[in-house]
Amino acid sequence: MKNIIIQCLICGFLAIGLWMAMLLLFLHLEQEDMLDKETEKLLYNRSFGKNVYQQASHSKKILKGDIINDRAMFSDPELIQGLSRYGLNVITSRRLGIERQVPDSRNKICQQKHYPFNLPTASVIICFYNEEFNTLLRTVSSVMNLSPKHLLEEIILVDDMSEFDDLKAKLDYHLEIFRGKIKLVRNKKREGLIRSRMIGASRASGDILVFLDSHCEVNRVWLEPLLHAIAKDHKMVVCPVIDVIDELTLDYVGSPIVRGAFDWNLNFRWDDVFSYELDGPEGPSTPIRSPAMSGGIFAINRHYFNELGQYDKDMDLWGGENVELSLRDCLVTHRSSCNRWRGSGKHSLGPSAW
């Protein structure tokens, strides 16, 4: 009887040990799965694809790649902190510095096009809040380096009460190299993205307003197609083709030609362009009629912008301006396929956090 009891106890302990091992294994796998989901959620929410093509497929491709599977990389606290704070890889951004060249993603027909020397002047408006320092400076330097000097009236930077130290005196110091072309406006209180853009527009003196994100890098001959289209019709509102900068590698990747649209819930989205629309003599360089526009990346005649009523100043959250300006503009928005730029980083979430 005693031996039987001992054997039962041993079997019981073995069973308990086996169940404990299985439980620990299950918890470990569950923790890994949760980590993957949190990483995917972080990257998707911070990804620029969310604002460009809703590229869930692009995000999944990244997540399945070597970068995400490299646990050593994601154990780097600096990388995790940068993704959480800025939505991009700050280590790579710091290594790239404040200036770099991106590949020319334009179609060959676009590369052969020439534009008049005398075009309207442009005021480029860039609003930022707690933007990553090098990313912001790459935006500014790319606009400065790739814009014809006689067409670029100014770059207006609107700081919506940034809290980070490197966006204060350090930023002022680095902007000295662009003296004469930069207007830095620092809001006295948090205004949010929409009202900050309106503040920038009120300070502009150029013929054309070009609204740009604070985490973009423009491409070659980016400005002339916008100005040329508006010069032919002052009520034309022109949007670019938006390429992609990967938030982890910061690689620049060209994108297909798409048009802006919105569904029955008035949610902005991107739609494909029919192939026959690009079969004309201008090919892929022809402007594409678009029923909707991206409310934060476009060019518009300054007086026409005021005539339309600008943005709704009571908007606090980003996204509504996509549809609002499209409706104000009576659905005559066009997209310029020869104009390309793209950015990486975070988006505006409201008046308290962009």
Task: Give a yes or no: residue 83 inside a domain.
Answer: no
DSSP state of 188: S
Most confident by average pLDDT, 13-27, 191-205, 252-266, 301-315 = 191-205
CATH number of the domain within which 320 lies: 3.90.550.10
Whole-number Å distance between alpha carbons of 271 and 175: 38
More confident residue, 158 or 354: 158
Task: Give a yes or no: residue 95 inside a domain.
Answer: no
Tell me the backbone φ, ψ of residue 205, rounded to 5 degrees. Answer: -125, -5
Domain boundary among 49, 72, 95: 72
In the predicted structure, residue 56 carries a pLDDT above the cut 70: no
Task: Give a yes or no: residue 348 inside a domain.
Answer: no
Q: Examine the domain organization and report whether 306 and 175 are in the same domain.
A: yes
Whole-number Å distance between alpha carbons of 161 and 145: 27
Q: Give me the percent of the chain exceeding a pLDDT of 70.
A: 72
Helices (H) and strands (E) in the chain, counts: 14, 13
Task: Give a yes or no: residue 103 inside a domain.
Answer: no
Task: Please check whether residue 109 is in contact with residue 140, taking contact to mean a CB–CB distance below 8 angstroms.
Answer: no
Question: What does pLDDT average to over the chain?
Answer: 79
Q: Examine the domain organization and report whether 153 and 240 are in the same domain.
A: yes
Say what the pLDDT of residue 184 is: 96
Task: Please check whether residue 214 is in contact with residue 345, taking contact to mean a CB–CB distance below 8 angstroms.
Answer: yes
Lowest-confidence region among 145-149, 201-205, 209-213, 283-287? 283-287
Q: Examine the domain organization and report whether 155 and 12 are in the same domain.
A: no
Indicate the pTM of the whole model: 0.75
Say what the pLDDT of residue 352 is: 28
Whole-number Å distance between alpha carbons of 277 and 286: 8
Q: Examine the domain organization and report whether 140 and 232 are in the same domain.
A: yes
| Pairing, β 258-262 against β 288-289 | unpaired
Q: Examine the domain organization and report whether 182 and 281 are in the same domain.
A: yes
In the predicted structure, residue 28 carries a pLDDT above the cut 90: no
Residue with tokens 């209180």: 189
Work out how many domains the chain is built from and give that number. 2
Q: Looking at residues 215-223, what average pLDDT do you find? A: 94
Q: Looking at residues 89-93, what average pLDDT do you find? A: 94
Domain boundary among 48, 72, 96: 72
In the predicted structure, residue 46 carries a pLDDT above the cut 80: no
- From the list 232, 9, 240, the residue with the least C-alpha distance to 115 is 232
Task: Give a yes or no: residue 77 inside a domain.
Answer: no
